[in-house]
Chain A
Amino acid sequence: QKEVEQNSGPLSVPEGAIASLNCTYSDRGSQSFFWYRQYSGKSPELIMFIYSNGDKEDGRFTAQLNKASQYVSLLIRDSQPSDSATYLCAVNGAGGFKTIFGAGTRLFVKA
């Protein structure tokens, strides 16, 4: 079982819709959870981080964490073509400081 799993996609949504990106992780003791965005040919950049169960909102982005289900998601409201990118879920485990990345989900927002 992979430590951090994401659907590779591609996920295609129309402009203005809500895009929902999901991630599951295997280490039940994980403490920190991150969403990075990576445009084609560019390096990843942090969008959101979340440490506590529940929702965390930042502009059009909402991160949701459910530690009991070992599940973290990212919602993008009012999706724009400029949101088209690969979204990487990352988890920091309790056993050490190393952060583990998922393989990423490719998102296409159609104008």
Chain B
Amino acid sequence: GAGVSQSPSNKVTEKGKDVELRCDPISGHTALYWYRQRLGQGLEFLIYFQGNSAPDKSGLPSDRFSAERTGESVSTLTIQRTQQEDSAVYLCASSLELAGSDEQFFGPGTRLTVL
């Protein structure tokens, strides 16, 4: 595809349910980021994948959050036992070069609403 894609675009779930969000980065991009953006707020870093290196999970807010990436392709962000404060837009971005100094291309985001 031409850009980063994310699915679903919208997800409404009940408190306590698990959700899985998917990100398809641009082909060939070695770096992949997940961010959370609450309404009217800035980007909150969650997790960073770079090639085959161990991911940087320092931004994950609790052990209910986890993410995986298969090689340099698809990534999934899983939120277990969702809470209302998890409601936000979850953005994925990918970047081409190893140095991390390149532009990040963002997907359209997944809007998560926890009732």
Contacts and interface: CB of A to CB of B under 8 A. Distances in A.
A88 B103 CA distance: 13
Contacts, number: 53
Nearest to A32: B101
For the complex of A and B, list the 7 residue pairs with the smallest distance between their C-beta atoms, beginning with the closest. A97-B100, A103-B42, A43-B106, A32-B101, A101-B43, A46-B103, A104-B42
Contact of B106 (A31, A45, A92, A98): A45
Interface string B26-50: 0000010101000001110100101
A34 interface: yes
Interface string A23-59: 0000000011010100000011110010100000000
Interface residues of B, number: 21
Contacts of B41: 103
Give the interface SS of chain B, mostly helix, strand, loop or mixed: loop
Contacts of B48: 97-98
Interface of A: 31-32, 34, 36, 43-46, 49, 51, 88, 90, 92, 96-104
A84 B99 CA distance: 32
Contact of A97 (B31, B107, B108): B31
Contact of A44 (B56, B100, B101, B106): B106
A3 to B, nearest CB: 10
